[in-house]
Structure 1
Amino acid sequence: MRSLVLERQHELSLRDVPQVDREEETLGPRDVRIKLHTVGICGSDVHYYTHGRIGPFVVRDPMILGHEASGTVIETGAEVTRLAVGDRVCMEPGIPDPNSRASRLGLYNVDPAVRFWATPPVHGILRPTCVHPEAFTFKLPDNVSFAEAAMAEPLAVGVHAATKARVKPGDVGVVLGAGPIGLVTALAALAAGCARLYVTDLSDTKLEIAAGLSPAVVPVRAGGGEPAATVLSDTDGWGADVVWEATGSPKAAAGVFEPLAPGGCVTLIGGQSDAIPYDAGAAMVREARVENIFRYAHVFPRCLAMLGSGTIDVRPLITRTYAFEDGVAAFERAAEAPPEEVKMQIELPQ
């Protein structure tokens, strides 16, 4: 089964992975076998390629990349009842231990035993087929394309972030960073009720994409204190109800409280490779609430419902699609971080 493999830092190949081939032969009674159609390139995939690790997760052996996926069910286990052969689906990539304390509390995304695609030592799904539990596989609405469905995974991060921030109708929000996660967070914040949403970035191209998402979006170029100054000026010095940090930049994260209103909420999404400064005084005088996001939980059905109804449209974020044979070139391009690209996807042969 030909797969896109990260052999080691800075080295990719398209080749068979015999171990995965053997594992995929086993279909459990509550599993489905899926023919993959579209897989998105995530920032974490690129980070493993360029750095060989993310925090404690280190690539020590060759690993298949990819975890944002959609496809078609081609076989079902004996006890599967909700899905059938031919169903178009997308998959939640993290499988927790159902008996863990975190899972029993409903916090399965922070289960230490979770097995998450393309997180060492677990292989990803840039390959022709995969076997996955029915419980974490979701049927697509008829009007949702494979490309849109492969966006359900990053969208889930944004929906989880909007949910934890407790957005209320009419809120003023700020999203720091207009990369893929920042923009899906913006979409989720708008769907949750934000009446005005400031989106910041250093890239004018990404700000143009953000502005095109909704008339409620106010694009602001990052740098020099401009985002905070703009928000405070527009709100008569009061500030925003919610600030989402989605840059992964220590400099941006250090200023998260500057545009925040008293009693507001800061939600940290962007992954930080090192410790960041935390202005406890700025948080204290605002009596700010701080939330932290690690992936998502319980939101995939919500994401698909919003994609199906048109409440959220992710199509403007899909900026380039590669054939599977060009997968190595796709990752090389993604590693360059071109400002005009938001989400790049790879289509597998059908």
Structure 2
Amino acid sequence: MEALVLERQGELSLRDMPEIDRAEETLGPRDVRIRLHTVGICGSDVHYYTHGRIGPFVVNAPMILGHEASGTVIECGAEVTTLAPGDRVCMEPGIPDPNSRASRMGMYNIDPAVRFWATPPVHGILRPTCTHPEAFTFRLPDNVSFAEAAMVEPLAVGIHAATKARVKPGDNAVVMGAGPIGLVTALSALAAGCARVWVSDLAQPKLEIAASLSAAITPVSPGDLAAQVLAATDGWGAELVFEATGSPHAAAGVFQPLAPGGCVVMIGGQPDPIAYDAGAAMVREARVENIFRYAHAFPRCLNMIASGAIDVKPLITRTFGFEDSLRAFQIAASAPPADVKMQIELPQ
């Protein structure tokens, strides 16, 4: 089974993975076998490629990349009841221990035993087929394409962030960062009821993409963010601030555009401890939320894409064939300012 393999930091190859072939031979009674169609390139995939690690997760052995995926069911286990061969699906990439305390409390995303695709030592999904639990495999509505379905995974982060923020109709929001996660968060905030969203980023092309998504999105450079938000809200500020850059410098300023009683949602991963302005948080009685991936979000995402409440198509800026995967990652690693989400299509 040819797969896109991260051999070690900075080295990728397309090659057979015999151990994956053997593992895929076994189909559990509640599993489905899926032929992969489209896989998105995530920032974490690129970071493993360029740095060989993300925090405590270190690539110590060859690892298949990819976790944003859609495909077609080709075989079902004996006890599968909700899916059938031929169903088009997308897959939630984290499989928790169903008996863990976190899972039993409904917070399965923070179960320490979660096995998440393309997180060492778990292999990812840039390969022809996979087996996956029925419970984490979701049938696509007829009007949702494979490409849109591969966007459900990053969109789930935005939906989870908006849920944790407790958006109220008419809220104003700020999203720091116009990468894929920042933009799906802006779309999620609007779909949840926000009246206006300011999106900041250093890259002007990304701000232009943000502005094209909705008349309710206002692009702004980071240096002007707080002043613009305060001027537009009579000095009150935005009720919600989403930090989606992963930059310590940006995170240090999350309270500046925040309204009294507002909420900050920390989305961007921070590799090191960051400065926290406790005084600025205190005088606002600010609520600070943190998110780790998502939980219970995939069905909501599919419903919103299918209804047109959220349109992810403008975020897909390049598509590569599987045979061009190495070049796709080289381009993604160069961080082109006009690109948001790159995807790879596998042979059918």
Indicate the TM-score class for this superposition, using the shorter chain for normalisation.
Answer: over 0.9
Match in the other structure for 1:39: 39
Match in the other structure for 2:176: 176
- What is the 5 A alignment of 1:138-177? 138-177=138-177
State how far apart, in whole Å, the 2-side matches of 1:28 and 1:277 are: 47
Q: 1:99-131 deviations in whole A, cap 9, x for unaligned?
A: 000000111000000000000000000000000
**Structure 2, unpaired ranges of 5+:** none
State how far apart, in whole Å, the 2-side matches of 1:222 and 1:112 are: 35
Match in the other structure for 1:199: 199
1:16 is matched by which residue type in structure 2?
A: D
- Are 2:23 and 1:23 equivalent residues in the alignment? yes
Q: 1:123-145 deviations in whole A, cap 9, x for unaligned?
A: 00000000000000000000000
State how far apart, in whole Å, the 1-side matches of 2:147 and 2:276 are: 38
User: 1:325, CA displacement in angstroms?
Assistant: 0.3
- Are 2:101 and 1:101 equivalent residues in the alignment? yes
Question: 3-state DSSP class of the match of 1:322?
Answer: strand
1:75 is matched by which residue type in structure 2?
A: E
State how far apart, in whole Å, the 2-side matches of 1:174 and 1:298 are: 24
Match in the other structure for 1:327: 325
- Are 2:230 and 1:232 equivalent residues in the alignment? yes
State how far apart, in whole Å, the 1-side matches of 2:20 and 2:94 are: 17
User: 1:34, CA displacement in angstroms?
Assistant: 0.2
Match in the other structure for 1:65: 65
State how far apart, in whole Å, the 1-side matches of 2:26 and 2:116 are: 19
Aligned identity (percent) is 81
1:66 is matched by which residue type in structure 2?
A: G
State how far apart, in whole Å, the 2-side matches of 1:21 and 1:47 are: 26
Question: 3-state DSSP class of the match of 1:307?
Answer: helix
**Structure 1, unpaired ranges of 5+:** none
1:278 is matched by which residue type in structure 2?
A: Y
Q: 1:289-336 deviations in whole A, cap 9, x for unaligned?
A: 000010000010000000110100000000000000000100000000
Question: 3-state DSSP class of the match of 1:242?
Answer: strand
Q: 1:148-196 deviations in whole A, cap 9, x for unaligned?
A: 0000000000000000000000000000000000000011000000001
User: 1:288, CA displacement in angstroms?
Assistant: 0.2
Q: 1:55-104 deviations in whole A, cap 9, x for unaligned?
A: 00000000000000000000000000000000000000000000000000
State how far apart, in whole Å, the 2-side matches of 1:273 and 1:10 are: 20
State how far apart, in whole Å, the 1-side matches of 2:246 and 2:62 are: 26
Q: 1:235-273 deviations in whole A, cap 9, x for unaligned?
A: 111000000000011000000000000000000000111
Moved more, 86-95 or 207-216: 207-216
User: 1:204, CA displacement in angstroms?
Assistant: 1.0
Match in the other structure for 1:263: 261
User: 1:274, CA displacement in angstroms?
Assistant: 1.1
2:132 is matched by which residue type in structure 1?
A: H
Question: 3-state DSSP class of the match of 1:212?
Answer: helix
Scaled by the length of structure 1, the TM-score of the pair is: 0.99
- What is the 5 A alignment of 1:74-85? 74-85=74-85
Match in the other structure for 2:251: 253
Match in the other structure for 2:295: 297
State how far apart, in whole Å, the 1-side matches of 2:15 and 2:270 are: 32
Scaled by the length of structure 2, the TM-score of the pair is: 1.00
User: 1:227, CA displacement in angstroms?
Assistant: 0.2
1:222 is matched by which residue type in structure 2?
A: P
1:130 is matched by which residue type in structure 2?
A: C
Match in the other structure for 1:213: 213
2:104 is matched by which residue type in structure 1?
A: R
Moved more, 5-14 or 203-212: 203-212
Count of residue pairs the alignment pairs up: 348
- Are 2:2 and 1:2 equivalent residues in the alignment? yes
2:36 is matched by which residue type in structure 1?
A: L
Match in the other structure for 1:313: 311
User: 1:26, CA displacement in angstroms?
Assistant: 0.3
**Runs of 4+ in structure 1 over 6 Å off:** none
State how far apart, in whole Å, the 1-side matches of 2:70 and 2:345 are: 10
- Are 2:29 and 1:51 equivalent residues in the alignment? no
